[in-house]
Amino acid sequence: MEDCLFCKIIKGEIPSNKVYEDEYVYAFKDIEPAAPVHVLVVPKKHISCLNEITKEDELLIGKIHMAIKKIAKQLGIDEDGYRIINNCGKDAGQTVMHLHFHILAGIKMGEKLV
Ligand code: 5GP
Ligand code: ZN
């Protein structure tokens, strides 16, 4: 999508610190890290948020999770663990309307909302 920040990052129109890329997924370091490791994992297809996924995206959602597993291993955080966050909508604080999953790691996280 033309005016989408993450679509521009995927296309290389805005620079990013790439961590991982495959046919379906692009992952890069968050510009304002909230933990020692903070990576954003996004589908290359523009989907604004989880509310917008359809049956045809089922494979893609699986691909994103397979990518997260690979990234965790690549970054060496798979053993100690990591947290995945997806913010959907205003009450969750979603600021970029392109579906993305935060990987947070490198620190023991205490607070749990669920
Ligand atoms: P949200 O709040 O929508 O779940 O997360 C958006 C995330 O994108 C935030 O953590 C923010 O720091 C990150 N972000 C916003 N703009 C940029 C950018 O231009 N480059 C990178 N790498 N991250 C960004
Ligand atoms: Zn987009």
Pairing of strands 25-29, 82-85: unpaired
pLDDT tens digits, 57-103: 999 999 999 999 999 999 999 999 999 999 999 999 999 999 999 99
Ligand 1 binding pocket, CB closer than 6 Å: 5, 14, 16, 28-32, 40, 87, 93-96
Question: Which residues span the domain enclosing 43?
Answer: 5-106
DSSP 43-76: ESS---SGGG--GGGHHHHHHHHHHHHHHHHHTT
In a domain, 48, yes or no: yes
In a domain, 45, yes or no: yes
pLDDT tens digits, 24-46: 999 999 999 999 999 999 999 99
In a domain, 114, yes or no: no
Residue 53 sits in a domain whose CATH number is: 3.30.428.10
The residues placing their C-beta within 5 Å of ligand 2, an ion, are 1, 4, 6-7, 46, 98
In a domain, 113, yes or no: no
Contact 81, 35 (CB under 8 A): no
Q: Categorize the per-residue pLDDT at 1 as very low, low, confident or very high, splitting at 50, 70 and 90.
A: confident
Q: How far apart are the CA of 96 and the centre of ligand 1, in A?
A: 7
- Cα–Cα distance between 48 and 38 in angstroms, integer? 21
Q: Is 38 a catalytic residue?
A: no
In a domain, 47, yes or no: yes
In a domain, 91, yes or no: yes
Q: How far apart are the CA of 45 and the centre of ligand 2, in A?
A: 7
Single pTM value for the model: 0.96
Number of domains in the chain: 1
pLDDT reported for residue 30 = 98
- Residues 6 or more apart whose CB falls under 8 angstroms from that of 38 comprise 29, 30, 102, 103, 104
Q: How far apart are the CA of 85 and the centre of ligand 1, in A?
A: 13
